[in-house]
Amino acid sequence: MDEYKVGTQNTSQVESQSSKKKAPLNKYALACALLASTNSILLGYDIGVMSGAVLFIKDNLKISSSQLEILVGSLNVCSLIGSFASGKTSDMIGRRYTIILAAATFLIGALLMGLAPSYPFLMAGRVVAGIGVGYSLMIAPVYTAEVSPAMTRGLLTSLPEVFINVGILLGYIFNYALAGLPDHINWRLMLGIAAVPAIGIGIGVLQMPESPRWLVMKGRIEEAKRVLRKTSENDDEANLRLEEIIKAASVVGQSPSDSTGSIPSKWKGQGVWKELLRPSRPLRRILVAAIGINFFMQASGNDAVVYYTPSVFNAAGIDNRKGLVGVTILMGIAKTSFCIVSALFLDNFGRRPMLLLGTTGMAVSLAGLGLGSMYLHNSYHKPLWAIALCVVAVCADVSFFSIGLGPITWVYSSEIFPIRLRAQGSSLAVSVNRLVSGVVAMTFLTISKKITFAGMFFVLCGIMVLATIFFYFFLPETKGKSLEEIWVIFEDKKDKTPSQADKEMTER
């Protein structure tokens, strides 16, 4: 561990010098991040398009509200399978081919849903698409984090969330464009069109390089060096990053480099779960942070609000279907715009300030949405000001989500685990994310009927207050740190010798 800290301190010194001037955005790393993140469009499109498609599916297939909840939530529950398996899969076959596998699985699911003649057939397609979504949610940010330079990692790793929001907006637009078609055709086109980008994404990802950190773990040092040279500002920075990765790989249990400079390894992710289930003190803190942020991301109810916004506004007095879909487009524009703003400023302001701003804003917005919904629920006449309050509050809620929890969850989860544990540790955290998302989506309408939409929004407001407190105490800042350096942040003074603590105080 001492050797590892020396490496990270050397890198930290170089990065602290380079951070005095604005870090340039590496175009090759940006291209890799964009290609990997396009996979997230598929999830976003499904979320957005399903919010409108359910209106027509319910009428066309004559299904109940409970069946509708199961249909909507099943994608999130089934994505638990993909996210749980993605860690081991990506350790075995690589990050790049796992992204292709995710796109191919979603392609099959989209075709099944688009051609579904009945509810069971539609559910089968939903299950397959969910597994593909699970793979995509874990692997896109992990790959991007492992390719990105430290000073622009926040921007690049938040791109999957940007593309999710772009996909949601596209889903809303296709809802609006296809809503006028007959009910037995429109929802099938809405769902089936997702197969087209899945094909393009699978082909595009073939042009991407493999993650340099995965290549090092497999002993393919020269290939890793070539990738790092393309994603670094110069050869010196590339060599320094490579040296740091090799040292970190050796520390976490890999065979040390031999005389040729390679790491002889048949590593396929074995032994990782043993460490995750019996964690050291620093790793326990990492697990608490990663699982906690993923839990609160979905416990915020954001996905359910997006899925069921038409139902919420229908209850508020907007009963025209095109009008309902039109309101969701407005929400999608706000959500996407603020996600882009967050991505651009994440490396400047840091993870913690943006996250705390986002959760605080969500708590206030949900309180306003609860008040507006409560007034509308208890009023025979639907006043325009109350409807306007609900529309503004929903847009504010999803906007603050896009500032904080939306992008930062993927950034934080993918960067805090040590190199050997990163894929499977992230898959564990994302599995919690998917499980909570499925539970919320499949119970949102049922609970809302019991306590009203207003009561549900007040509950979500309370959850966001708890989230703000949790993030303040348990999530340290990781801005500008290399992936290999972040481990040290989660060690406390009890884990360090007096000489190490004194040395750190001197450096500060």
Q: Which two tokens stand for residue 347?
A: 């490396």
Q: Which two tokens stand for residue 504?
A: 């750190």
Contact 276, 421 (CB under 8 A): yes
Contact 115, 122 (CB under 8 A): no
Query: Which helix or strand (DSSP H or E) is residue 350 part of?
Result: none
How far is residue 500's CA from residue 490's CA, in Å, rounded to a whole number? 15
* Residue ranges per structural domain of the chain: 25-208, 279-493
How far is residue 221's CA from residue 225's CA, in Å, rounded to a whole number? 6
Which positions of the chain have pLDDT values less than 50?
A: 1-20, 252-264, 493-508
Q: Which CATH architecture has domain 279-493?
A: Up-down Bundle (1.20)
Domains 25-208 and 279-493 share a fold: yes
Give the pLDDT confidence score for residue 321 in this predicted structure.
Answer: 63
Specify the DSSP class assigned to residue 22.
P
How far is residue 322's CA from residue 84's CA, in Å, rounded to a whole number? 38
pLDDT digits (tens, 9 = 90+) for 323-366: 666 777 777 788 888 988 898 888 889 999 999 999 999 999 99
What's the alpha-carbon Rg for the chain, to the nearest Å?
23
Give the pLDDT confidence score for residue 287 in this predicted structure.
Answer: 95
How far is residue 94's CA from residue 91's CA, in Å, rounded to a whole number? 6
Going by C-alpha positions, the residue among 459, 452, 300 that lies closest to residue 374 is 452
The predicted model scores a pTM of 0.78
In the chain the first and final C-alpha atoms are separated, in Å, by 20
How far is residue 75's CA from residue 85's CA, in Å, rounded to a whole number? 16
Going by C-alpha positions, the residue among 38, 35, 54, 180 that lies closest to residue 126 is 54
pLDDT digits (tens, 9 = 90+) for 198-254: 888 878 888 889 999 899 888 889 999 999 999 888 888 899 888 888 887 765 444
How far is residue 101's CA from residue 213's CA, in Å, rounded to a whole number? 20
Q: Which two tokens stand for residue 172?
A: 């809303």
Q: How many Cα atoms occupy the beta-carbon half-sphere of 95 within 13 Å?
A: 34
Give the CATH number of domain 25-208.
Answer: 1.20.1250.20
Give the pLDDT confidence score for residue 7 in this predicted structure.
Answer: 46
pLDDT digits (tens, 9 = 90+) for 303-313: 777 767 777 67
CA 22 to chain centre: 26
How far is residue 493's CA from residue 292's CA, in Å, rounded to a whole number? 23
